[in-house]
Structure 1
Amino acid sequence: MDYLHRTHNALIKQGKPGLQRALMEEIDWNDRIIGIRGSRGVGKTTFLLDYARRYYAPNAPECLYINLNQFSFTVTRLADFAGEFVRQGGRTLLLDQVFKYPDWMAEFKECYYKYPELRIVFTASAVMNLEEEDPELASLASVYHLAGFSLREFIQLDNGLTLPALSLEDIMEHTDEVLGDVFSSINPGLWMDRYLEYGYYPFHLEPRLYSENLLKTLNMTLEVDLLFIKQLEQRLLHKLRKLIFILAQRPALQMLNVSQLATEIETSRSTVMNYIRYLSDARVLRSIYRAEDTESGKPAIAYLGNPNLYHLLGQEACDRAELLRTFVFNQLSKGHDARLSARSSLALFEIDGKYPVQIEEELTGRYRSDRYYILEQGDLSREKTIPVWLFGFLY
Structure 2
Amino acid sequence: MFSIENILNTFVTKYQTEKMEELLDFQANIFRQTTETWYRYLLDNLESEERLLGLKGLRGVGKTTLLIQFAKFRYAEKTKVLYVTADHPYFYSNTLFDLASLWNKNDGKLLMIDEVHKYPNWSRELKLINDGFPALQVFFTSSSALDLYRGESDISRRLAVQNLEGLSFREYLNFFEGHDFKPLTLAEILKDHVSLAQEITKDFHPLPSFKSYLSSGYFPFAKNLKTTAVPARIIQTLNTVLETDLAFAQDYSAGNVAKVKRLLGVIAASVPFTPNISTIAEKLGLSRNTVYMYLRHLEDAKIIRIVNRPDKNLGSLQKPDKIYFENPNFAYALQPDANIGAVRETFFANQIANATKAVHLSEKGDFLVENQFIFEIGGAKKSFDQIKDLPESFIAADEIEIGFGNKIPLWLFGFLY
TM-score (norm 2): 0.88
Secondary structure of 1:295's counterpart equals coil
- 1:20-35 residue pairs with structure 2 within 5 A? 20-35=39-54
RMSD over aligned CA atoms reads: 2.1
**Which whole-Å CA distance do the structure 2 matches of 1:264 and 1:361 have between them?**
35
Identify which of 5, 9, 15 aligns with 2:28: 9
CA distance in 1 between counterparts of 2:292 and 2:140 reads 30
Task: Say whether the 8 Å CA contact 2:194–2:402 is kept in structure 1.
Answer: no
Q: Are the aligned partners of 2:189 and 2:412 in contact in 1 as well (CA < 8 Å)?
A: yes
Find out whether 1:47 has 2:69 as its counterpart.
no
* Alpha carbons 2:67, 2:112 under 8 Å: kept: yes
The residue matched to 2:183 in structure 1 has which SS?
coil
The more displaced of 194-203 and 133-142 is 133-142
Question: Which of 314, 324, 329 is equivalent to 2:335?
Answer: 314
2:219 aligned residue (197, 201, 214): 201
Percent of aligned positions with the same letter in both sequences?
A: 28
Where does 1:85-164 land on structure 2 (aligned, <5 Å)?
85-133=103-151, 136-164=154-182
Residue in structure 2 matching 1:336, options 324, 333, 357: 357
The more displaced of 189-198 and 278-287 is 189-198
- Which secondary structure state, in structure 1, belongs to the residue aligned with residue 157 of structure 2? helix
Name 2:270's counterpart in structure 1. 250
Question: How far is 1:358 from its partner?
Answer: 0.6
* Residue 300 (structure 1) aligned with residue 321 (structure 2): yes
Q: Give, in angstroms, the shift of residue 366 of structure 1.
A: 4.7
SS of the residue aligned with 2:357? coil
Say which of 394, 398, 407 aligns to 1:376: 398
Which residue, 206, 211, 220 being the options, matches 1:188?
Answer: 206
- Structure 2: runs of 5+ lacking an equivalent: 1-19
Q: What is the CA distance between 1:105 and its match in structure 2?
A: 1.4
Distance change in 2, residues 1:103/1:135 (3 Å): closer
Instruction: Output the CA distance in 2 between the equivalents of 1:366 and 1:150.
Output: 27
Question: Aligned in 2, Cα 1:4/1:185: closer, same or farther, shift over 3 Å?
Answer: farther
8 Å Cα contact 1:36-1:44 kept in structure 2: yes
Classify the secondary structure of the residue corresponding to 1:16: coil
- In structure 2, the CA distance between the partners of 1:116 and 1:379, relative to structure 1 (3 Å rule), is closer
Pick closer, same or farther for the CA change 1:350–1:206 going to 2, 3 Å: same
SS in 2 for 1:109: helix
Cα deviation, residue 181, structure 1? 3.9
CA contact 1:306–1:327 (8 Å) conserved in 2 = yes
- 1:339-350 residue pairs with structure 2 within 5 A? 339-341=360-362, 343-344=363-364, 347-350=365-368
- Unpaired stretches in structure 1, ≥5 consecutive residues: none
Change (3 A) 1:86 1:319: same
Deviation per residue, 1:87-140 (Å, 9 max, x gap): 222111110111122122122222222222211110011122233436841211
User: For 1:242-281, what aligned pairs fall within 5 Å after superposition?
Assistant: 242-252=262-272, 254-281=273-300
Would you say the 8 A contact 1:363–1:378 is kept in 2? no
CA distance in 1, matches of 2:72, 2:397: 40
Partner Cα separation in structure 1 for residue 188 and residue 283 of structure 2: 44
Is residue 219 of structure 1 aligned with residue 261 of structure 2?
A: no
Question: How many Å separate the matches in 2 of 1:382 and 1:360?
Answer: 15
Distance 1:362 1:266, change over 3 A: farther
